[in-house]
Structure 1
Amino acid sequence: MTKGITVALAVALGLPTTAAANMTIGTWNLEHLGWDNGKRLDDVAHIAKGGDLWALTEVMDEAAVSQLESELEAQTGESWSSMTSHEVGRSSYQESYAYLWRDSQVEYTQGAVVYMDPGDEFAREPYLAEFRDVETGDKVAMAAVHIVYGDSRADRTPEIKQLAEIWDWMREVYPDSARIIAGDFNLEPDHEAWQLLRDQSASPAITSGATTLGTTDGDYANLYDNLWFDQDALDFTGSGIVRFPELLNLTHEQARDVVSDHAPVYIGVGDVGIVDLDETTSTDSGPRCIDINEATVSRLDELPQVGPARADDIIDARPFESIDGLTRVDGLGPARVEDIEASDMVCSL
């Protein structure tokens, strides 16, 4: 068996090799890939070689994808393939999407297309394609998406809601495939705008943590990057956020300059085990502690003495150096903070 997540991620990132999955699928906003911005494709490839199939956003030049493919082949000694969409966007600023995959594990089957968007709902229409696991024959239909940022969350929600239409359309076009919508959504997965997609049995792979790099080392701000998958059809074995600055020994300032201001996220697909990653990679494969410096509102709401409004206050008061710092939040006196600590639900700081 090809151990997609065990071997690939372990070799690339120095992670443990005690779990396996048939295929590792990731998504990464590579922040203007192809512009003359000093991007280190060798560093990008060092992280990307940990996966088998990638959906890339913010691609500015198809040639840069080909160069990344060549760098991956040089580092892995394996054959890789890629394809890039035409440019999409309503203004003079336009981007492309790309798919990048390891030939020994994944093959493209059919249906690469930029969504026609009959209602002109998307500023950047999604890019879709179907792929097959070489070993198992299982098919996955992918939609790469980069949701418009706009001036506020209200500008992002119409496109998020429209993803439910994409989801339904994918069922018709790729009837034999498990569905995944991957990309940079510029909106956290617990926002109410996602309800239409949730109602169709779609689930986010990442539900806590953050994927955008802050300017301070170790600081991650927003959970914008994700993979929404078909929970009734996909053999999901785990997920994670790759904190690549630590893995590449880069400061956040350096990482933002030469790699990206977004961290990649991934899922394991297959019939073996749960993803087993070390502390350098934030995993999302089951119940675990709540990081008060990174958790979303919905996760903080699980803590005793904390509701949605107080969760917002906790986020506004970050960062915390210890649980005791929660006393800075209005309504959380020493006794209530003791209750939170006694719950053993909070990650060590």
Structure 2
Amino acid sequence: MPRIRLVGLLALFPLFAQADVLVGSWNIKHLGWNNDKAMPQVAHVANHFDLLAVQELMDPAALSRLEANLEEMSGEAWSSMASHALGRSSYEEHYGFLWRESEVAYEDSAVVFIDHGDVFSREPYSARFRDVETDDLFTLATVHVVYGDSVSDRLPEIEALADYWQWLGESHPQTPRLLAGDFNLPPDHAAWQALRELGASPAITEGRSTLATSAGQYASLYDNLWYDADRLDPDGQGILLFPELLPLAHQAARDRVSDHAPVYLALNGAALVATHAGSGELVASRRVANCIDLNDSKAGQLTQLPHVGPSRAADIIAGRPWQVPGELTRISGIGEGRLGEIQRSGLLCSG
């Protein structure tokens, strides 16, 4: 049964059966500029998530290239969308969303916010998404708060996010909200009080997400995911310190991938499994939200295993109970080599 948090007004606002997805947020440092971006490494990091909000997208064509890299790397179908260019001067950015089609689908309402007070340099962008398995809906919004010359330049946009949060709720009153972004302000700053009073909570409260210039060092906690605390009860959250996963030195990772590490929120049993690039994992960087149990999982889940299609899934179900995965060699077409690939996939439940 999904884990849910009890709140008032149940008749007006049904509780959300949380989507079994990993939602990430990542400032990918001028994605789309001619800056020697290591796209396969960017894809490796992005492939840890099912739905990713992207900031500092300079050219939507780069998001399409990243999508193609993800499909080649993961062997799965991905989709993406981008906002129009946003900015007050000649410097403009886009926002983007990337999602794994087996887990997430775009529902509707992709829109750039009409800023009520004309406060934002780059108005937030949002869309509603649907969990493929449960059909539950949720809204994901993203923003890149202006950095400016000092913290005081950032505060008006931070404070205006309370108005934006309310607008998201009014637009889809029965849909839980998540606000992802590079906020250029840590979550414990007093300027967040107005958003907190509306029931929003930061997923990340400890650690640092921006890469310092010194190897292995991180500077600030500017990246975060704020979520609807009355309607969502996350199972996990964190910062993916990606330089540790790549065959690049810290400075090279900072220059050629990003100076920000992605942050994430895990919903309904999802869990991130950090994978090193080039490790040979068949399901590179893929988290196992609910592991596959040979004795309990349905046929559709069993077909996620390497070399298991509908026919072999039916054979697995017919052969229950299984004591150990090694017994799968009883099934026609699964020899020791394929058994090894199934076990190394990391998809099977342990124990």
If the length of structure 2 is used for normalisation, what is the TM-score? 0.72
Contact 2:176 2:231 in 1 (8 A): yes
Distance in 1 separating the partners of 2:201 and 2:92: 29
> RMSD of aligned C-alpha atoms?
1.9
Distance in 1 separating the partners of 2:175 and 2:274: 31
The alpha-carbon deviation at position 277 of structure 1 amounts to 5.9
* Residue 202 (str. 1) matches residue 172 (str. 2): no
SS at match of 1:236: coil
Matches within 5 A, 1:228-307: 228-270=226-268, 272=269, 275=271
> Which residue number corresponds to residue 156 of structure 2?
158
> Which residue number corresponds to residue 97 of structure 2?
99
SS at match of 1:155: helix
The alpha-carbon deviation at position 235 of structure 1 amounts to 3.3
Distance in 2 separating the partners of 1:279 and 1:202: 31
> What's the % identity of the aligned pairs?
56
Distance in 1 separating the partners of 2:272 and 2:90: 44
Gap change, CA 1:277 and 1:72, over 3 Å in 2: closer
Contact 1:55 1:99 in 2 (8 A): yes
Given residue 218 of structure 2, which amino acid in structure 1 is its aligned partner? Y
Gap change, CA 1:56 and 1:193, over 3 Å in 2: same
Given residue 172 of structure 1, which amino acid in structure 2 is its aligned partner? E
For residue 188 of structure 2, the aligned residue among 184, 190, 193 is 190
Distance in 1 separating the partners of 2:273 and 2:94: 31
Distance in 2 separating the partners of 1:43 and 1:61: 18
Distance in 1 separating the partners of 2:275 and 2:203: 18
The alpha-carbon deviation at position 249 of structure 1 amounts to 3.2
Given residue 223 of structure 2, which amino acid in structure 1 is its aligned partner? D
> Which residue number corresponds to residue 130 of structure 2?
132
Distance in 1 separating the partners of 2:260 and 2:182: 9
Q: For the pair shown, which has the larger CA radius of gyration, 1 or 2?
A: 2
For residue 117 of structure 2, the aligned residue among 109, 116, 119 is 119
* Residue 28 (str. 1) matches residue 13 (str. 2): no
The alpha-carbon deviation at position 118 of structure 1 amounts to 2.6
Stretches of structure 1 lacking an aligned partner (at least 5 in a row): 1-20, 281-349
Distance in 2 separating the partners of 1:251 and 1:224: 23
For residue 224 of structure 1, the aligned residue among 222, 226, 246 is 222
Deviations 1:71-109 (A, max 9, x none): 000001110000000000001100000000000100011
Contact 1:145 1:185 in 2 (8 A): yes
Stretches of structure 2 lacking an aligned partner (at least 5 in a row): 1-18, 277-351
SS at match of 2:235: strand
Matches within 5 A, 1:40-189: 40-189=38-187
Distance in 1 separating the partners of 2:274 and 2:249: 20
Distance in 1 separating the partners of 2:137 and 2:233: 11
Between the two proteins, the alignment pairs up a number of residues equal to 260
SS at match of 2:259: coil
Contact 1:214 1:252 in 2 (8 A): no
The alpha-carbon deviation at position 251 of structure 1 amounts to 1.8
Deviations 1:318-339 (A, max 9, x none): xxxxxxxxxxxxxxxxxxxxxx
